[in-house]
Amino acid sequence: MDRREFLGKLFKRTGIAAGVTVAGAAGVLGYYQPRKQNYRSKNEEDTSGLADRLEASKKALIVGGGLAGISAAMELAKRNFDVTLVEASADLGGKLTGWDVDALGERFPVEHGFHGYFNQYYNLNEMFAESGVGDVFMPAPGYPVLFKDHPLEVFGNTPKLFPLNIFSVLQQSDSLDLFPILKDFDGMMPVLNMFRYEYERTFEEYDGIDFMTYCQEQRVYEPFFRTVLHPFSDATMNRMEVLSAAEAIRYFHFYFMGSPEALGYRITTKNCMDALVRPMERRLKELGVKILSGKKVRKLLVDDRRVSGVELEGGGSDEIIAVVDASRVKTGEWASLRTENGLPVLLTSRNGEYVAFDATCTHMGCPVVPDEKLNGFFCPCHAGVFDYEGNVVSGPPETPLRKLQVTVSGHQLVVSTGVGDASEVLSCDYCVLASDVTGTKGIIERSDIRQPEFESRIASLGTADPYVVWRLWLDKPVTSAEYPFYTVAGFTYTDSVSLFSRFQEPFISWGEKQGGSVVELHAYAIAPEDVRPNEVIKQTMLKEMHHMFPETKDAAILYDVYMQQQNFTRWAPGDHAKRPVSETPLENLSLAGDWVKVDAPVFLMEAAVFTGRLAVNAICSKEGLKPLPLPIVPMDGLFA
């Protein structure tokens, strides 16, 4: 679309024309605006006469206790299904889960990191309301972007009306004056073309290239690229260089260009567990949902293209999981390896015998690593510590590492699960698989499904580059920070900064009492060439914090929690076409999670809840029940 075509569409959409005065203004401000709507599937029919609930209850099994699984469990329970929710971790919540740490003579809650709850998270906010989540939010005072070598830019809560929302962004920015933009209007055309978001066309044209290439080939106006597109796209947890351009365009459509809610979002004044997860868990229990936490699903049990149930880990017959050349294992040294299906294993020789552990942390499933200083194993995701016998020493894990059996066969070591008690089996009429990418891939690989195309789609899923969350208790306040949260651009690692002692208890009280501050640094996605040992990353991020807030150079770190994880969904070029959709070849199995392929403009937390509800609607369709309305931002951009 060239400049003339764009202006023509703008005139047509808004009613602007030569000589139009009041009527033209009314057209701009009132006639055509992004509006909240309800999602409609392609084959949706009139459902007004259908029942809301089952007369006779049926068993529904939900695998995964993140937002997708919670949303599916909650809505099915309301429809008289007998729901069992299985979660591998000790607590529900997925990436919203948290735990407590003992530090500095007090007990503090910690979690996976800072979260913003945008106003267009319609399905998520409905679930919060259903759960009785109370007054735990405060509006974010703005969206500041802190640059390494450029003045701070602050994007406030922009007006909701188009085009005032766009003009507001330009007015708020020192780098985006209107006159230079008009002078280099061709450089803004690729940005304005993003208002043409249309699901099928956008993915057909742009899913084959990454967003960085899109911006370079389209010669996007450099100040807008640097100030807006680059820092905001990083929040997808995927680097621009490996992020599908189509996914990026959908992302900007959802969060701003097509959103009726502008840039408004909220933050929690309490930790995620107390503010959000525990109210949702209480509501599930009120609805009769049976929650099995700390239980890991091993595989689906499939009978004639139906899931009859699931098998839980922890028993059954001896299963070989790896065969290792004995020369790889040295006495007193731990050899780290991964099996064909991705299971991390630690193996050593001591006191004349071989010892092996499943190196999956029993808290959230992250791989643990040997740590000589701790004389045991350390989980870098959530600072869990195990001794060399696999027992929990400290941190959030509650159960020991699983010990594996090792037998010698010639020059090879056979690592197996060993023989345990009979495996526990849960039966079901319907199953919703709502685990994360890694968990879902493992379950499907271990299941005898015999659906090659479906299994290939699951296998094609991937996780984004690793990310870091580092929370620091400092002995001095961060006096130069005006805002509780900053998006950060231009540094090697740091992509955002959250000052928890500005907005969340008990950190506010601790900071006031001790004269200190609690700061959290995030690295959203670490490029392969920037992967370094944890101590190197920490020292670099510390220098970056000193650059942003110079007074922190004189602050001592009293306590810290450092986590490195890799569990966000990958949105690489070409991924979208291969993704599995919610419905599967197994007639009673549905999928849910932000990794599920949908045509609706949803992202991140909202995508997780949306797909959980979409899975519920698929089950309702099979049972002749009324589907749940699914509110969304407009399906198409303003100029689609």
pLDDT band at 343 (very low <50, low <70, confident <90, very high): confident
- Tens of pLDDT, residue by residue over 112-163, are 888 999 999 999 999 999 999 999 999 988 888 999 988 888 876 666 666 6
Task: Find, among 162, 218, 169, the residue nearest to 191 by Cα.
Answer: 218
pLDDT at res. 529: 95
Does pLDDT of 12 surpass 80? no
d(CA 302, CA 9): 53
Task: Tell me what percent of the residues of the chain surpass a pLDDT of 70.
Answer: 88
Does pLDDT of 14 surpass 70? no
Task: Find, among 43, 80, 35, the residue nearest to 58 by Cα.
Answer: 80
> Are the beta carbons of 137 and 115 closer than 8 angstroms?
no
pLDDT at res. 17: 41
- Tens of pLDDT, residue by residue over 35-78, are 889 998 766 677 778 999 999 999 999 999 999 999 999 999 99
How many helices (H) and strands (E) are present in the chain, helices listed first?
A: 21, 32
What are the tokens at 108?
Answer: 């503090």
- Tens of pLDDT, residue by residue over 199-229, are 999 999 999 999 999 999 999 888 888 888 9
| Matching residue, tokens 């490195």 | 564
pLDDT band at 486 (very low <50, low <70, confident <90, very high): very high
Could you check whether the bond before residue 139 is cis, i.e. omega within 30 degrees of 0? no
Q: Which residues of 456-475 are buried (b: 16+ CB within 10 A; e: fewer)?
A: ebbeebebbbbbbbbbbbbe
Average pLDDT over the chain reads 88
d(CA 204, CA 207): 6
Report the residue count for the chain.
640
Encode 345-408 in three state secondary structure: EEEEEECCEEEEEECECCCCCCECEEECCCCEEEECCCCEEEECCCCEEECCCCCCCCEEEEEE
Does pLDDT of 420 surpass 70? no
Amino acid identity of residue 74, one-letter, is: M
Burial of 371 (0-12, 13-18, 19+ CB in 10 A): middle
CA-based angle 250:10:235, to the nearest 5? 25
pLDDT at res. 416: 86
- Tens of pLDDT, residue by residue over 350-385, are 888 899 999 888 887 788 989 888 889 988 777 789
Give, for 212, the enclosing helix (H) or strand (E): helix 211-217
Task: Find, among 471, 501, 496, 546, the residue nearest to 103 by Cα.
Answer: 471
pLDDT band at 314 (very low <50, low <70, confident <90, very high): confident
Does pLDDT of 164 surpass 70? no
